[in-house]
Protein backbone atom coordinates (compact mmCIF):
# COMPACT_ATOMS: atom_id res chain seq x y z
CA UNK A 1 0.00 0.00 0.00
CA UNK A 2 2.85 2.38 0.80
CA UNK A 3 4.30 1.71 -2.62
CA UNK A 4 1.00 2.61 -4.28
CA UNK A 5 0.74 5.89 -2.36
CA UNK A 6 4.39 6.75 -3.07
CA UNK A 7 3.89 5.97 -6.75
CA UNK A 8 0.72 8.04 -6.85
CA UNK A 9 2.34 10.98 -5.09
CA UNK A 10 5.31 10.71 -7.45
CA UNK A 11 2.88 10.92 -10.33
CA UNK A 12 1.45 14.13 -8.85
CA UNK A 13 4.85 15.75 -8.55
CA UNK A 14 6.31 14.50 -11.80
CA UNK A 15 3.20 15.07 -13.85
CA UNK A 16 1.12 12.75 -15.91
CA UNK A 17 2.34 11.36 -19.18
CA UNK A 18 1.45 8.12 -20.94
CA UNK A 19 4.16 6.01 -19.25
CA UNK A 20 3.30 7.34 -15.80
CA UNK A 21 -0.41 6.82 -16.35
CA UNK A 22 0.18 3.20 -17.48
CA UNK A 23 2.37 2.51 -14.46
CA UNK A 24 -0.20 3.95 -12.09
CA UNK A 25 -3.00 2.05 -13.79
CA UNK A 26 -1.13 -1.25 -13.46
CA UNK A 27 -0.57 -0.60 -9.75
CA UNK A 28 -4.23 0.37 -9.30
CA UNK A 29 -5.40 -2.76 -11.09
CA UNK A 30 -3.36 -4.97 -8.81
CA UNK A 31 -4.29 -3.17 -5.58
CA UNK A 32 -7.10 -4.26 -3.26
CA UNK A 33 -10.51 -2.61 -3.70
CA UNK A 34 -10.17 -0.33 -0.65
CA UNK A 35 -6.85 0.99 -1.95
CA UNK A 36 -8.40 1.50 -5.39
CA UNK A 37 -11.15 3.63 -3.77
CA UNK A 38 -8.57 5.75 -1.97
CA UNK A 39 -6.60 6.16 -5.17
CA UNK A 40 -9.74 7.09 -7.12
CA UNK A 41 -10.79 9.63 -4.47
CA UNK A 42 -7.30 11.09 -4.37
CA UNK A 43 -7.21 11.21 -8.16
CA UNK A 44 -10.55 13.09 -8.23
CA UNK A 45 -9.36 15.47 -5.53
CA UNK A 46 -6.19 16.19 -7.49
CA UNK A 47 -8.19 16.78 -10.69
CA UNK A 48 -10.45 19.23 -8.83
CA UNK A 49 -7.43 21.02 -7.37
CA UNK A 50 -5.80 21.27 -10.80
CA UNK A 51 -9.04 22.59 -12.33
CA UNK A 52 -9.50 25.12 -9.53
CA UNK A 53 -5.87 26.25 -9.87
CA UNK A 54 -6.21 26.59 -13.63
CA UNK A 55 -9.36 28.67 -13.16
CA UNK A 56 -7.64 30.88 -10.59
CA UNK A 57 -4.67 31.41 -12.89
CA UNK A 58 -6.97 32.20 -15.82
CA UNK A 59 -8.90 34.70 -13.69
CA UNK A 60 -5.65 36.35 -12.58
CA UNK A 61 -4.48 36.55 -16.19
CA UNK A 62 -7.78 38.13 -17.23
CA UNK A 63 -7.61 40.65 -14.37
CA UNK A 64 -3.97 41.57 -14.96
CA UNK A 65 -4.61 44.30 -17.58
CA UNK A 66 -7.18 46.00 -15.37
CA UNK A 67 -4.84 45.87 -12.37
CA UNK A 68 -2.01 47.21 -14.53
CA UNK A 69 -4.25 50.08 -15.67
CA UNK A 70 -5.10 50.85 -12.04
CA UNK A 71 -1.40 50.97 -11.17
CA UNK A 72 -0.68 53.17 -14.20
CA UNK A 73 -3.53 55.54 -13.30
CA UNK A 74 -2.29 55.76 -9.73
CA UNK A 75 1.25 56.46 -10.92
CA UNK A 76 0.01 59.13 -13.33
CA UNK A 77 -1.95 60.77 -10.53
CA UNK A 78 1.14 60.73 -8.30
CA UNK A 79 3.29 62.23 -11.06
CA UNK A 80 0.68 64.90 -11.80
CA UNK A 81 0.52 65.77 -8.11
CA UNK A 82 4.31 65.91 -7.87
CA UNK A 83 4.54 68.14 -10.96
CA UNK A 84 1.92 70.49 -9.51
CA UNK A 85 3.85 70.63 -6.26
CA UNK A 86 7.11 71.41 -8.08
CA UNK A 87 5.38 74.11 -10.14
CA UNK A 88 4.01 75.64 -6.95
CA UNK A 89 7.46 75.60 -5.37
CA UNK A 90 9.02 77.13 -8.48
CA UNK A 91 6.36 79.85 -8.52
CA UNK A 92 7.05 80.57 -4.86
CA UNK A 93 10.79 80.70 -5.50
CA UNK A 94 10.26 82.84 -8.60
CA UNK A 95 8.11 85.31 -6.70
CA UNK A 96 10.74 85.38 -3.98
CA UNK A 97 13.47 86.00 -6.55
CA UNK A 98 11.42 88.76 -8.18
CA UNK A 99 10.90 90.41 -4.80
CA UNK A 100 14.62 90.15 -4.01
CA UNK A 101 15.55 91.63 -7.38
CA UNK A 102 13.07 94.48 -6.95
CA UNK A 103 14.70 95.57 -3.66
CA UNK A 104 17.28 97.69 -5.50
CA UNK A 105 14.54 99.12 -7.77
CA UNK A 106 12.39 100.18 -4.81
CA UNK A 107 14.73 102.99 -3.81
CA UNK A 108 13.76 104.91 -6.97
CA UNK A 109 10.40 103.36 -7.96
CA UNK A 110 8.94 102.98 -4.45
CA UNK A 111 8.17 99.84 -2.44
CA UNK A 112 5.10 99.15 -4.58
CA UNK A 113 6.46 100.59 -7.85
CA UNK A 114 4.12 103.53 -7.35
CA UNK A 115 6.62 106.38 -7.79
CA UNK A 116 8.12 108.14 -10.78
CA UNK A 117 11.80 107.24 -10.52
CA UNK A 118 13.79 110.33 -9.61
CA UNK A 119 10.68 112.30 -10.49
CA UNK A 120 11.27 111.66 -14.20
CA UNK A 121 9.94 108.28 -15.32
CA UNK A 122 6.42 106.95 -15.53
CA UNK A 123 5.02 104.85 -12.69
CA UNK A 124 5.79 101.21 -13.49
CA UNK A 125 3.11 99.66 -11.26
CA UNK A 126 0.32 98.32 -13.44
CA UNK A 127 2.43 97.82 -16.56
CA UNK A 128 2.02 94.45 -18.28
CA UNK A 129 4.63 91.73 -17.88
CA UNK A 130 5.37 91.91 -21.61
CA UNK A 131 5.96 95.68 -21.50
CA UNK A 132 8.14 95.43 -18.40
CA UNK A 133 10.22 92.61 -19.90
CA UNK A 134 10.59 94.41 -23.20
CA UNK A 135 11.65 97.67 -21.55
CA UNK A 136 14.08 96.00 -19.14
CA UNK A 137 15.72 94.05 -21.97
CA UNK A 138 15.94 97.20 -24.10
CA UNK A 139 17.52 99.12 -21.20
CA UNK A 140 20.01 96.28 -20.69
CA UNK A 141 20.93 96.33 -24.40
CA UNK A 142 21.32 100.12 -24.31
CA UNK A 143 18.51 100.58 -26.85
CA UNK A 144 16.06 102.45 -24.63
CA UNK A 145 16.40 105.91 -23.09
CA UNK A 146 13.03 106.96 -21.71
CA UNK A 147 13.14 110.36 -19.97
CA UNK A 148 16.95 110.36 -20.05
CA UNK A 149 17.11 107.29 -17.78
CA UNK A 150 18.76 104.93 -20.32
CA UNK A 151 22.30 105.01 -18.93
CA UNK A 152 21.14 104.61 -15.33
CA UNK A 153 18.78 101.76 -16.21
CA UNK A 154 21.44 100.07 -18.35
CA UNK A 155 23.75 99.89 -15.34
CA UNK A 156 20.88 98.62 -13.16
CA UNK A 157 19.91 95.83 -15.61
CA UNK A 158 23.37 94.86 -16.91
CA UNK A 159 23.85 91.89 -14.53
CA UNK A 160 20.32 90.49 -14.95
CA UNK A 161 19.73 87.33 -16.96
CA UNK A 162 16.66 87.01 -19.18
CA UNK A 163 15.13 84.66 -16.59
CA UNK A 164 15.72 87.23 -13.84
CA UNK A 165 14.23 89.98 -16.01
CA UNK A 166 11.18 87.78 -16.50
CA UNK A 167 10.83 87.15 -12.75
CA UNK A 168 11.32 90.84 -11.99
CA UNK A 169 8.66 91.82 -14.55
CA UNK A 170 6.21 89.31 -13.07
CA UNK A 171 6.85 90.63 -9.58
CA UNK A 172 6.44 94.27 -10.57
CA UNK A 173 3.23 93.36 -12.41
CA UNK A 174 1.90 91.67 -9.26
CA UNK A 175 2.30 94.84 -7.17
Domain chopping of the chain, boundaries:
2-68, 87-174
The maximal CA–CA distance of the chain, rounded, in angstroms, is: 118
CA distances from 20 to 15, 25, 69, 112 (A): 8, 8, 43, 93
pTM for the whole thing? 0.49
CATH of domain 87-174: 1.10.760.10
> Residue 136's pLDDT band (boundaries 50, 70, 90)?
very high
Q: What is the pLDDT of residues 43-79, one digit of tens each?
A: 888 888 888 888 888 888 888 888 888 889 888 998 8
Amino acid sequence: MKAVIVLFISMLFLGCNDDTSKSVQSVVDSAPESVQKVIAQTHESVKKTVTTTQQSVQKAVEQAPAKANEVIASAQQSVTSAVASVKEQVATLSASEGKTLFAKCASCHGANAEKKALGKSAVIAGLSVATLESDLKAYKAGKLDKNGMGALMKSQTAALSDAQISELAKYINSL
